[in-house]
Amino acid sequence: MHRFKITELGKNAFWLRGDERDHLVRVLRLAPGDDIVGFDNSGAEYYATILKIEDKSVTCRILETSHPDVEANTKIYLAVGLSKGEKMEWVIQKGTELGISGVIPLRAKRAVMRLEGTKALERVKRWQKIAGEAAKQSHRVQEPQIFEVADWSDLPKLLPANTQWLIPYEEEKTERLQTVLDRFDPLLPMALIIGPEGGFEAAEVSWAQEYLGAASVSLGPRILRAETAALAAATMVLAHYGDLG
């Protein structure tokens, strides 16, 4: 059954407007009487029948509300160094399927891509859309939040103070991700800071350790590409705490 993000929720009905309405009408060509599923990022999911299709909105009658157990118990945020091309899109799409809660695009020192001003805002909008589509595809009821492009100094204020920060670093030879996860609390938010293609400068890792209390961890003996590292690390955290597999 097709899934839609609800624009406005009423007691026994909801409305779809904008892109969601257009997609339902023009691409999927659904009609009154067809059943769909709506979600509103509250954790609930609404089975509904299309009642009325108008120029600017679709009205749906709610038949049943449920709270499916699909969201991960551990909230994972990926702070990812800006990379060229479509890598960020890939991380957002696959990370959403896996169950992450948010992505912070990070201006790391060796980031190859520069993103500023309106260009950055437009890109974030596009990334948010990708997250929304992937959330539907994987039957999630909460789409991950894509944060505005951030500098290192923004990081501490973007996430709650009790966030547990991790910085996977290929030069880390003693601490391993799995070991750190044993002593972290799965019920507190977790943020993974992944370097850009060229990796982190040592000073960035020390900054994260000092100002975020981040644990620098190894993901294993092989050097992974940034996007692989991001998804592998998220997968390990989710699997470690029973949210995957």
Phi then psi dihedrals of residue 5, to 5 deg = -90, 125
Of 38-46, 53-61, 62-70, 190-198: span binding ligand SAH (CB under 6 A): 190-198
State in angstroms the smallest separation of the CB of 87 from ligand SAH.
10
Among 194, 208, 231, 238, binds ligand SAH (CB under 6 A): 194
Phi then psi dihedrals of residue 65, to 5 deg = -110, 135
State in angstroms the smallest separation of the CB of 160 from ligand SAH.
22
Half-sphere exposure of 203 (CA within 13 A, CB side): 4
The answer for residues whose C-beta is within 8 angstroms of residue 133's C-beta and 6 or more apart is 93
With CB atoms as reference, the residue minimizing the distance to ligand SAH is 195
User: Running DSSP on this structure, what letter comes out for residue 23?
Assistant: I
End-to-end CA distance of the chain: 25
Q: Give the Cα-Cα-Cα angle 88, 229, 180 (nearest 5 degrees).
A: 130
Q: Which of residues 89-128 bind ligand SAH (CB under 6 A)?
A: none
Q: Which residue has the tokens 């999911």?
A: 45
Indicate the residue among 58 and 229 with the shorter CB distance to ligand SAH: 229
Indicate the residue among 102 and 168 with the shorter CB distance to ligand SAH: 168
Of 29-37, 88-96, 111-119, 191-199: span binding ligand SAH (CB under 6 A): 191-199
Q: How many amino acids of this chain bind ligand SAH (CB under 6 A)?
A: 16
Indicate the residue among 132 and 195 with the shorter CB distance to ligand SAH: 195
Indicate the residue among 15 and 200 with the shorter CB distance to ligand SAH: 200
Q: Which of residues 212-241 bind ligand SAH (CB under 6 A)?
A: 218-220, 222-224, 226, 229
**Partners of 191 in beta bridges:** 77, 165
- Does residue 78 bind ligand SAH (CB under 6 A)? no
Do 202 and 240 touch, CB atoms closer than 8 A? no
Is 49 exposed, middle or buried, given 0-12, 13-18 or 19+ CB atoms closer than 10 A? Answer: middle
* Structure tokens, 92: 């957002």
Indicate the residue among 6 and 208 with the shorter CB distance to ligand SAH: 208
Taking phi over 0 as left and psi of -120 to 50 as alpha, with beta for the rest, 99 belongs to: left
Please state, in angstroms and rounded to a whole number, the distance separating the CA atoms of residues 179 and 177: 6
Q: Which of residues 124-183 bind ligand SAH (CB under 6 A)?
A: 168-170
Indicate the residue among 38 and 95 with the shorter CB distance to ligand SAH: 95
Among 111, 199, 212, 214, binds ligand SAH (CB under 6 A): 199
Indicate the residue among 188 and 223 with the shorter CB distance to ligand SAH: 223
3-class SS of residue 237 = helix
Interface residue list for ligand SAH (CB under 6 A):
168-170, 194-195, 198-200, 218-220, 222-224, 226, 229
